[in-house]
Amino acid sequence: MPIFFDEAQNLFHLQSQNSSYIIQLVRGYAAHVYYGRKLRQDSNLKGMLSFNERASFSPNPIPDDKSISLDTLPQEYPQYGSSDFRSPAYQVKLANGTRVTELAYRTHRILQGKPDLKGLPAVYTEHESEAETLELELSDAVSGLTVILSYTVFADSAAITRSARIVNESGAPLELERALSASLDFADSDYDALYLSGAWARERHVQRRRLAPGVTGIGSRRGSSSHQQNPFFALLRPDANERQGEVYGVSLVYSGNFIAEAEVEQFGMTRLQIGLNPFDFSWHLEPGVSFQTPEAVLVYSNEGLGGMSREYHRLYRTRLCRGQHRDRERPILVNNWEATYFDFNADKIEAIAQAGSKLGIELFVLDDGWFGRRDRDNSSLGDWFEDRRKLPGGLKDLANRVKATGLQFGLWFEPEMVSPDSDLYRSHPDWCLHVPDRRRTEAREQLVLDMSRSDVREYLYERLSDIFSTVPVTYVKWDMNRNMTEIGSSEIPADRQKEIAHRYILGLYELLERFTGEFPHILFESCSGGGGRFDPGMLYYMPQTWTSDDTDAVERLKIQYGTSLVYPVSTMGAHVSAVPNHQVERTTSLTFRGDVAMSGNFGYELDLTKFTAEEQETAKQQIETYKEIRGLVQQGEMYRLLSPFEGNETSWMFVSRDRNEALLFYFKVLAEPNAPLRNVKLEGLDPEKNYCLEASGEIYGGDRLMALGLSVSSLRGDFASMWVRLKAV
């Protein structure tokens, strides 16, 4: 964990569990020297940077030293306008209209623990001994601009976190036009880029391509992290794969517009950056005021993508997610959405709950349609009052009827939206995002409430907290079903309208902090048309997310596999739904659907009262099994064995931290005629231990299981699956 400062060499050496991150002060500039495999502190670290005079098109800021150019110097937080022509980490406009600043080292501090980021989610520590933090203070002598770069190294993690706090110490206001969280310069460009892309119902598919001169990048301008791109980016060596090779991951703890990109410059260096998307962004900083960027989480792995993922999983599961539910086993639930949509009454809900109780389900979730006059999705968002036509006794009565069946009661909300056909909109038409004299573009026949406004947040707090205080709710599904258009606010001055998208996210975080702090017994699940806001920022407040609205088991193989590149299984909602599937019209067996869903936070999203006797027995067995294995699935180490992006088969497994227990899942999408015999090699076991296969009683050495694997050739037919449970003996 230690952070060392070598005063003689002006060198900072940050050591994580498996990596070193080295910064050197070069003529006052904070230069990025090294990030990679861990180096000893007593190694000779001199001469890690080379300086050579370049052609005249790379200017020299120091007249007496032509070997230094900001256009070639690897930097920790590069600036615009003073001879570095690559992408800057920040950009400001000063009071006199100029945009040139130049940061130089002023001082530094090494702190025990990890300070909070005011108003923003971030990885945390529970004890100061868990981490050390370097605060590197840089300043521009002319303008009074100061930037404090924060780096945290953890005792029990390979991750390093980075963020920047930008302070106006001048006597005049300035405009911040770009404020990234992290910038890293690599000495070469022999990398592939890997990121997660998709669309609604097709989220987080794995994309990989070679870097080339120019910019390879992703981002969101939708107001949320989005279905289309996820705030994660990785560089990996061309020979790196799931099991071996060097990988550098960067993940942004933020839920709004972001950018992540790798720029290969003229001399073959690579600049990797992540942070707030500068598109349509600016922030007005009065004298003495600061701006905090979101946090970037860096993970280096020399054990391939699997090693990187397991580092993210451990950190995000235990030191990003918070609250009473962080370490608890998650309840098995049934949600009525695909069972009833808007067409239900209290008796129908109670009947589904009773059917679920007989199967062993633990939680019933009432989805959309319980409030206002919500008979379809064109009205009533914002009117968070129970619909007495459907629920004559009200929510409290329904919750008690559900509880009488032995199930907990959960409830769906979409608090950030408003329907034009609602009492709230008729009373407060200015409460939505809008621009004067322009149309208010609708999506799903709804508008977006202006979460930057305190009165909007206060209204939502009053309405929802009244329900949370009077109805025995133990679970809340918090949905958000459209992206932002006409991003304007009547509450914010004209010259600060570019702040609104970020202020919206800050307002959302403030409201979520209030709810989760005052109602800690409630398990909150994030949702945005499924996985449209599956990001680390939301996980700080809600320890799980509805992974996708697409519940087809075949599609879920890719979605859940891609999601697991960064996010632990404990954060993924995964349900069994009806067939033919409502998104793709595919029919798969209840067993196949159950096996896929059991690789997440398990539940059902269909009408349990329509199950046949055979289906009831299958579901009952699934629920009994999941209760036995969910601790391992939700808290174990995940190993991805076969990728759905590379073939007809998918396989992954979960291993306990002590390596005494493991669970293998294998899925085959389509049957093959006269197929070759197939073994799946296991991973993560202890080669010195023997393991008993629970179903057969056969005992094999861990070394044998990892070298030769287990046969999966017995499966027949399309959409076939199996799982094997192993215990050390």
User: Which residue spans within 256-384 are E strands per DSSP?
Assistant: 258-264, 270-276, 283-285, 290-292, 295-301, 333-335, 363-366
- In this structure, what token pair is assigned to residue 260? 């992540």
Torsion of CA 149, 154, 157, 162, to 10 degrees: -10
Angle at 549 between CA 546 and CA 554, to 5 degrees: 105
How far is the C-alpha of 639 from the C-alpha of 512, rounded, in Å? Answer: 33
Task: Report whether 423 contacts 381 (CB < 8 A).
Answer: no
Catalytic machinery residues: 479, 549
Angle at 118 between CA 116 and CA 120, to 5 degrees: 90
- Measure CA 56 to chain center: 44
Task: Report whether 269 contacts 188 (CB < 8 A).
Answer: yes
| Burial of 169 (C-beta count, 10 Å sphere; 0-12/13-18/19+) | middle
- Residue 190 CB coordination number (10 Å): 14
Residues making up the chain, counted from first to last? 729
- In this structure, what token pair is assigned to residue 273? 């950056």
3-state secondary structure of 606: coil
Task: Report whether 414 contacts 481 (CB < 8 A).
Answer: yes
DSSP notation for 104-147: EEEEEEEEES----TTS-----SSGGGEEEEEEEEE-TTT-EEE
- Measure CA 673 to chain center: 40
3-state secondary structure of 12: strand
